[in-house]
């Protein structure tokens, strides 16, 4: 099917439904009306062809359709599914108690932010997507790999310290996002209070 669309027949069909052809046909019909009424005289066929060509040249060019990217709700649903996958991965990883506690706290905060109805701003979604799809898995995987090497060659800085620092930084970023959402809701509430009081 795709091959036939690219061949001469496919191009001809696309042109038949194009703006250029339809505009040219409309102008050609006007020329045909002139020819039939005798206004074009002996030059009737040339007038029809000329008006068709002029219409085809003046018609606006074809534009490809705008791509339909997922909206905020669809992005959020996809991100929630990825968060569930991340949670499954995290339950299988062996972590020190302090790192596990920090990770559970971060995961709980991310889960709360990903509840429907809270985050719709594209920038906020980008921050959450980066944390879920990149930062948290990378931090945990780097810890697991480094821990293996530290067992082979002891004496280096314990890898859990880096993991705890990374998780603390990620929690701070998520907490800042939560604080901004809370502030927005508080502003909305105060604005509604003022509106109701002014109306009364």
Per-residue pLDDT tens for 169-200? 999 999 999 999 999 899 999 999 999 999 87
* CA distance linking residue 132 with residue 85, whole number of Å: 10
Q: What's the confidence (pLDDT) of residue 152?
A: 63
* CA distance linking residue 88 with residue 86, whole number of Å: 5
Task: Return the DSSP state at 1.
Answer: -
Residue with tokens 């061949």: 7
User: What is the arithmetic mean of pLDDT over 135-141?
Assistant: 96
Pairs from 127-131 (Cβ < 8 Å, separation ≥ 24): 127/173, 127/174, 127/177, 128/79, 128/174, 128/177, 129/75, 129/79, 129/82, 131/170, 131/173, 131/174
Lowest-confidence pick of 5-19, 40-54, 106-120? 5-19
pTM confidence score: 0.65
Nearest in space to 72 (alpha carbons), one of 123, 111, 130: 123
Quick: pLDDT tens for 147-173: 877 766 766 678 889 999 999 999 999
Q: Where along the chain do its domains lie?
A: 7-58, 72-199
């Amino acid at each position: 099917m795709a091959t036939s669309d690219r061949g001469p027949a496919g191009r001809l069909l696309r042109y038949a439904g194009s703006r250029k052809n339809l505009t040219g046909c409309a102008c050609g019909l006007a020329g045909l009306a002139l020819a039939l009424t005798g206004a074009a005289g002996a030059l009737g066929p040339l007038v029809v062809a000329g008006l068709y060509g002029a219409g085809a040249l003046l018609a606006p060019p074809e534009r490809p359709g705008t791509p339909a990217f997922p909206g905020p709700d669809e992005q959020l649903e996809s991100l929630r599914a990825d968060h569930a996958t991340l949670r499954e991965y995290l339950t299988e990883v062996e972590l020190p108690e302090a790192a596990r506690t920090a990770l559970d706290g971060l995961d709980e905060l991310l889960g709360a932010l990903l509840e429907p109805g809270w985050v719709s701003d594209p920038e906020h979604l980008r921050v959450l997507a980066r944390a879920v799809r990149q930062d948290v898995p990378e931090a945990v995987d780097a810890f697991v790999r480094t821990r293996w090497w530290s067992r082979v060659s002891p004496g280096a800085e314990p890898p859990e310290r880096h993991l705890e620092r990374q998780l603390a930084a990620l929690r701070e970023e998520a907490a800042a996002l939560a604080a901004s959402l809370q502030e927005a809701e508080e502003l909305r509430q105060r604005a509604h209070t003022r509106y109701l009081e002014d109306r009364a």
